[in-house]
Structure 1
Amino acid sequence: MAQQGRGRLDDAEFRRRVDELKERHPLSGVVGRAVKLKRAGREHQGLCPFHPEKSPSFYVNDAKGFYHCFGCSAHGDVVRFVMEREGCTFREAYRRLANDDLPTWTPQERAKAQAEDRLEDLAKEQDARRFYADAMPVAETEGRAYFRARGITIDLPDTVRFGMVPSWRNKETGEWGRKRPAIICGAQDGTGAVVGIQRIFFKNDNPALGTKDCKLSLGTIRGSALRLEPPGPAVILAEGPEDGLSLMQEGPGLPVWVPFGTSMMPAVVFPPEVRRVFVAGQNNTAGRVAANKAAISLSERGLEVRLVWPAATFDDWNDQLRGAAR
Structure 2
Amino acid sequence: MSRREASDLACRLGQNAETVCRHYLSNGRRQGNYWLVGDARNTPGRSMFVRLRETRKGRAGKWLDAATGENGDLLDVIREVCGLTGFDDIAEEARRFLGLPHVEQFKLAPRGDKARSGSTEAARRLWAMSQPIAGTIAEAYLRQRRIAVARDLANLRFHPHCYYRPEDHGPTQTWPAMIAAVTDLAGAVTGAQRTWLSPDGSGKAPIGTQRKAMGDLLGHAVRFGRPSEIMAVGEGIETMLSLKSALPHMPMAAALSAAHLAAILFPPSVRRLYIACDKDPAGDGAREQLMRRANQAGIEAVALTPTLGDFNDDLVAFGIVALRAHVRVQLMPEDVARFMSLAA
Q: Return the TM-score normalized by structure 2.
A: 0.52
- Structure 2 Cα separation of the partners of residues 209 and 123 of structure 1: 27
Shift of 1:324: 5.9
Distance 1:282 1:123, change over 3 A: closer
Could you tell me which residue of structure 2 aligns to residue 138 of structure 1?
A: 133
From 300, 317, 327, the counterpart of 1:323: 317
Is residue 236 from structure 1 mapped to residue 232 from structure 2 by the alignment?
Answer: yes
Q: Residue 226 of structure 1 aligns to which amino acid in structure 2? A: V
- Structure 1 Cα separation of the partners of residues 264 and 142 of structure 2: 25
Shift of 1:222: 0.8
Distance 1:252 1:304, change over 3 A: farther
Distance 1:267 1:121, change over 3 A: farther
Could you tell me which residue of structure 1 aligns to residue 277 of structure 2?
A: 281
SS in 2 for 1:223: coil
Distance 1:123 1:285, change over 3 A: closer
Could you tell me which residue of structure 2 aligns to residue 154 of structure 1?
A: 149
Is residue 167 from structure 1 mapped to residue 164 from structure 2 by the alignment?
Answer: yes
Aligned CA-pair RMSD: 2.7
Could you tell me which residue of structure 1 aligns to residue 247 of structure 2?
A: 251
Distance 1:169 1:127, change over 3 A: farther
Distance 1:215 1:274, change over 3 A: same
Q: How does 1:172-191 map to 2 (within 5 A)?
A: 177-191=172-186
Identity over the aligned pairs, expressed in percent? 28
- Structure 2 Cα separation of the partners of residues 215 and 318 of structure 1: 17
Could you tell me which residue of structure 1 aligns to residue 188 of structure 2?
A: 193
Could you tell me which residue of structure 1 aligns to residue 65 of structure 2?
A: none
Kept in 1, the 8 Å contact 2:179–2:194? The answer is: yes
From 203, 206, 216, the counterpart of 2:199: 206
Could you tell me which residue of structure 2 aligns to residue 291 of structure 1?
A: 287
Shift of 1:194: 0.8
Could you tell me which residue of structure 1 aligns to residue 16 of structure 2?
A: none
- Summarize deviations over 1:54-93 as a string: whole Å, max 9, x none: xxxxxxxxxxxxxxxxxxxxxxxxxxxxxxxxxxxxxxxx
Kept in 2, the 8 Å contact 1:127–1:219? The answer is: yes
Could you tell me which residue of structure 2 aligns to residue 99 of structure 1?
A: none
Shift of 1:238: 1.7
Could you tell me which residue of structure 1 aligns to residue 304 of structure 2?
A: 308
Distance 1:199 1:140, change over 3 A: same
Kept in 2, the 8 Å contact 1:263–1:294? The answer is: no
Kept in 2, the 8 Å contact 1:121–1:220? The answer is: no
Unaligned 5+ residue runs, structure 2?
1-114, 320-344
Shift of 1:184: 0.3
Kept in 2, the 8 Å contact 1:121–1:219? The answer is: no
From 233, 258, 265, the counterpart of 2:261: 265
Shift of 1:140: 2.7
Shift of 1:124: 0.7
Q: Residue 156 of structure 2 aligns to which amino acid in structure 1? A: V
Could you tell me which residue of structure 2 aligns to residue 37 of structure 1?
A: none
- Structure 2 Cα separation of the partners of residues 286 and 191 of structure 1: 28
Shift of 1:123: 7.4
- Structure 2 Cα separation of the partners of residues 221 and 282 of structure 1: 20
- Structure 1 Cα separation of the partners of residues 297 and 172 of structure 2: 41
SS in 2 for 1:218: strand
Q: Return the TM-score normalized by structure 1.
A: 0.55
